[in-house]
Amino acid sequence: MLKYIFPVLLVLTACGGGEEKKTPTEKTEAPKVVVSFENEAEMDERVVEIDAIVTQVGMTASSLYYSKGETGESIQVDGHLNADNQILKIEEFFSDGNGKSSGRRMYYLNDGKPFVTVEQFDDVTGTKAQFVDRISYYDANGKVIKTKERKGDYQEVVETMKYKPVGLAGISMDRAMRAINQQKEFETTFQGFIDQDIFTYMSVGEKKADGFRSAIRCDFKDPLINDLSNDQKGNIGRKLLVNFQKHTDETGFEFQVYTGGKFADE
């Protein structure tokens, strides 16, 4: 299966939505629980509509798959488009690494801002691991106005349960947007080539040794690959602009294939 990825710079307004940090002297209050609000049904209907639209169109603008080798932390983000190439839904796949929480977060957008977020993840922060399915709603200013969730020992069981209102718990898509836009910790600087079996992979990522990295298989040589190969050491840390496609083989294994690129300063 071949899935086309469009590595474009997406400038969207990220919604804060999270709880404000309290200073040590401030008293922490229990999150507010909202049972219902006026436009909840309309928002739910729009979520269903967006899912139908992006499924039919089948186009994505995606990030590279980034990971940290020592900790196992990882992230990969898909931006789902409509027929007019507008991002309607951001889908973030994440793992906090080392046996911590992992799953996905979905951000449903209106004018580039999330109005509904969905979290589905294995929560291992408590004394007992549970699968959590959580939905939060936001107003036009990005403020969370309701959160509901269902959770249990297994995803299959949770999917048969009803949602219950819980304390407001909004999330931010800032990190997901940095991954798509290759910014800050997801900057694509050249980190060398890796030979594995008959394949050669180009490693890109943060300049620091313990940062996020991504490996892209290089099946051919173009001017950029030749320049990098001729002076690997001298080009370490140099920022690149790379194009890629995501492939899935017959076993279900997904990998990224280089399709072209250039130095960012050219």
Scan for tokens 């051919």, then name that residue. 220
213 and 90: one domain? Answer: no
Please check whether residue 16 lies inside any domain of the structure: no
37 and 78: one domain? Answer: yes
Please check whether residue 59 lies inside any domain of the structure: yes
87 and 80 Cβ atoms separated by less than 8 Å: yes
173 and 191: one domain? Answer: no
Select from 170, 199, 201, 202 the least CA-distant residue to 189: 202
Residue 24's pLDDT is 47
Q: How far is CA 232 from CA 59, 189, 190, in A?
A: 35, 12, 9
109 and 164: one domain? Answer: yes
Please check whether residue 23 lies inside any domain of the structure: no
Select from 18, 14, 10 the least CA-distant residue to 79: 10
In 10 A of CB 102, how many CB atoms?
A: 17
171 and 135: one domain? Answer: yes
Cβ neighbours of residue 213 closer than 8 Å, sequence gap 6 or more: 66, 67, 68, 69, 191, 203, 204, 205, 206
**CA–CA separation, 228 vs 238, rounded Å?**
10
Last residue of a domain, one of 143, 177, 211: 177
Please check whether residue 86 lies inside any domain of the structure: yes
Indicate the burial class of 127 (C-beta count within 10 angstroms; 0-12, 13-18, 19 or more): exposed
169 and 183 Cβ atoms separated by less than 8 Å: no
- Encode the chain (266 residues) as per-residue pLDDT tens digits: 344 444 444 444 444 444 444 444 555 677 899 999 999 999 999 999 999 999 999 999 999 999 998 899 999 999 999 999 999 999 999 999 888 899 999 999 999 999 999 999 999 887 889 999 999 999 999 999 999 999 999 999 999 999 999 999 999 999 999 999 999 999 999 999 999 999 999 999 999 989 999 999 999 999 999 999 999 999 999 999 999 999 988 898 889 999 999 999 88
Structure tokens at 209: 């040794």
86 and 42: one domain? Answer: yes
Q: Say what the pTM is.
A: 0.86
108 and 88 Cβ atoms separated by less than 8 Å: yes
Indicate the burial class of 35 (C-beta count within 10 angstroms; 0-12, 13-18, 19 or more): exposed
95 and 212: one domain? Answer: no
Torsion (CA) 264, 173, 175, 169 in degrees, nearest 10: 170
Please check whether residue 219 lies inside any domain of the structure: yes
